[in-house]
Amino acid sequence: MFDIRALYEAESVDHAIALLEKHPEARIIAGGSDVLIQIREGKLAGTELVSIQKLEELRGISLEADGSIRIGALTSLSAIARDPLIQTHLKVLAEAVSLIGGLQIRNIGTIGGNTCNGVSSADSASTLMALDAVMEYQGQEGIRRLPIQTHYVAAGKTALKHHELLTAITIPEESYRDCYGHYLKYALRNAMDIALLGCSVNVRLTGDKRWLERVRIGFGVAGPIPMRSPRAEAAATGELVSEATLDRAAQAALAEVRPRSSWRASKELRLQAVAELTKRALGCSIRHAGGTI
């Protein structure tokens, strides 16, 4: 049994927002793969829950008029992994979410839940960072959109206000047009394990496939929150496709990340992984784009 004080079922986005306003201690529950575990462990014992499971308008993936790809916050991780639009334009995101938990978790877990729990180890987070994702919030004051870099504000905390919902995540066309990416997860097991470090890279090459025209590099567990590495990106952007460029990007990333030691991995191990995964993910992205190193 779960120690839940009350469960309210939202019938619309506006209704969910009103429920959150009326019950300031309530928590949102979607798939429940995070919240229910915290309740069972006693961390959220006696909590009130606002369920948004019925809000079908928050599910689905679409190509918008401006070329951006819109992913509803309630879209399950497994639905994202197999969606034709994602497979065509954002294959790296399909690969990243396919590494989250097991199939049962991916069937109930949502992209909104994976990004709103605020943890640095979320497998979707570093890839969404590298894709310049935009987070869409809706509250009583209306809709506001934030770049994902400002969505995460501290370990386990996001910029969402209590009475707001994450309604969608959008990927601008500039982030996927002629772009190719790769996500690498370093973990102790090959399946159903939390990342000790994650690195996602997204690149666009010049027409002759010899130069890096655009580079984005995102990390998970390289600091208290998911992060981009502007120094590593700058070290590779505009440079010749070569092993030397990969090395420079890796060294630049080391100067920017802030991993810590924990019972799962030491700071030193994570730093070593940052350098190695940067080189590997950047190299794989270049090869996906048709480049040769």
CB half-sphere exposure, 123, CA atoms < 13 A: 27
Q: How confident is the model at residue 1 (pLDDT cuts 50, 70, 90)?
A: low
Q: Specify the amino acid at residue 108.
A: I
Confirm or reject CATH 3.30.390.50 for domain 178-288, answering yes or no.
Answer: yes
> What does the pLDDT look like over 104-138, one tens digit per residue?
889 999 999 999 988 899 999 999 999 999 999 99
Residue 138: count other Cβ atoms within 10 Å of its Cβ: 20
How many angstroms separate the CA atoms of 166 and 170, rounded? 11
Block residue for tokens 């229910």: 36
In this prediction, residue 220 carries a pLDDT of 96
pLDDT, average across residues 85-106: 94
8 Å CB contact between 160 and 116: yes
Q: How confident is the model at residue 80 (pLDDT cuts 50, 70, 90)?
A: very high
The ranges assigned to domains in the chain are: 4-50, 58-174, 178-288
> What does the pLDDT look like over 24-38, one tens digit per residue?
988 898 877 777 777
8 Å CB contact between 186 and 198: yes
Q: Indicate the average pLDDT of the chain.
A: 94
> What does the pLDDT look like over 163-213, one tens digit per residue?
999 999 999 999 999 999 999 999 887 666 789 999 999 999 999 999 999
Nearest CA among 147, 133, 152 for reference residue 227: 152
Q: Rounded to the nearest 5°, which phi and psi values hold at 142? A: 115, -155
Residue 278: count other Cβ atoms within 10 Å of its Cβ: 29
- Does pLDDT of 13 surpass 90? yes
In this prediction, residue 211 carries a pLDDT of 98
58-174 adopts what CATH topology?
3.30.465
> What does the pLDDT look like over 45-68, one tens digit per residue?
778 899 999 999 999 999 999 999
Q: Rounded to the nearest 5°, which phi and psi values hold at 87? A: -65, -35
Q: How confident is the model at residue 151 (pLDDT cuts 50, 70, 90)?
A: very high
8 Å CB contact between 240 and 230: no
Cβ-count burial 235-256 (b if 16+ within 10 Å, e if not): bbbebebeeebbebbbebbbeb
Nearest CA among 44, 59, 55, 50 for reference residue 18: 50
